[in-house]
Amino acid sequence: MWNFGLDFALPWKCVLCDSPDDNAQVSINRTSYCTSCTEKFEAAIADVDQSCERCGAVLGPFVPTDSPCVHCRDKPLKFDSVSCLGMYGETIRDAILSAKYSSSTVGLEALCRLLVQERCQQLRGIKPDLVMPIPHHWRARLTRHFNSAAVIAESLSVAIGAPLEDQTLYRSRLTRLQKRVDLKDRFENQKGAFGLRNPELLKGKRVLIVDDVLTTGATCSEASRLLKSAGAKTCHVAVIARVLDSSA
């Protein structure tokens, strides 16, 4: 009766396409997406067994995944592995863009629940000691409603039972937005972009670095380089989507 009352006062709509869905409305375990969008997500979610362990890119059925792939073998990546929900295709791309540029975190939290549902076991296997989001520069925080990486990191921290540490890593300078920088210049753009507070907290720790998307890996790589220089044992990355360079 409570659910029916809520549906009458506040009719349910899909977070992604904004359409009503009768099946979702009557379900006790309702989701954030309608039946049609849920099916699209199921088709877009990557197969872990066919994803490159180093960069998260989806590979062919007979390509080994435990060594650098064609998308990352020539890149100086400093992190140890990547876990993502899927590739930056139509459905996931639309969901991310809609969520990132919203004044509410509702859309992003829906993506977080999908990420937890699909990748929780994989991330627990890493046994991270700390979950650390890629931070915004303080000037960027003045114009952004929220930090996507921080929202995702909070959800993952709760799901995998690892403490959230969002104060140690900070932006030491305001860099150009990566999407506005040529692919070949993105590693240079991120050099020296981060700083550390209380670096002694990192010694011997396995760190899970969290961001929304990963393209060249320059941002997470620079963060990993700094964390490892302070004594972090390993740095793994979790993102919603992996963007191939050719589609950036």
DSSP string, 185-210: GHHHHHTT-EEESSGGGGTT-EEEEE
- The tens digit of pLDDT for each residue in 86-135 reads 999 989 999 999 998 888 999 999 999 999 999 999 999 999 999 999 99
Which of 248, 203, 227, 243 is CA-nearest to residue 80? 227
- The tens digit of pLDDT for each residue in 57-89 reads 999 888 999 999 999 999 999 999 999 999 999
Domain limits, the chain: 1-44, 49-247
Which of 247, 248, 210, 6 is CA-nearest to residue 108? 210
* Confidence label for 51 from pLDDT (cuts 50, 70 and 90): very high
Longest Cα separation, the chain: 58
CATH code of the domain made up of 49-247: 3.40.50.2020
Question: The pTM is what?
Answer: 0.90
Question: Which tokens hold the place of 200?
Answer: 């002694």
Sequence-ordered list of residues with C-beta below 8 angstroms from that of 229, at least 6 positions apart, any chain: none
For residue 138, the model assigns a pLDDT of 85
Contact indicator for 20, 205 with CB cutoff of 8 Å: no
Reported as type and span, the H/E element at residue 235 is strand 234-242
DSSP string, 95-131: HHHHHHTSSSSHHHHHHHHHHHHHHHHHHHHH--SEE
- The tens digit of pLDDT for each residue in 214-242 reads 999 999 999 999 999 999 999 999 999 99
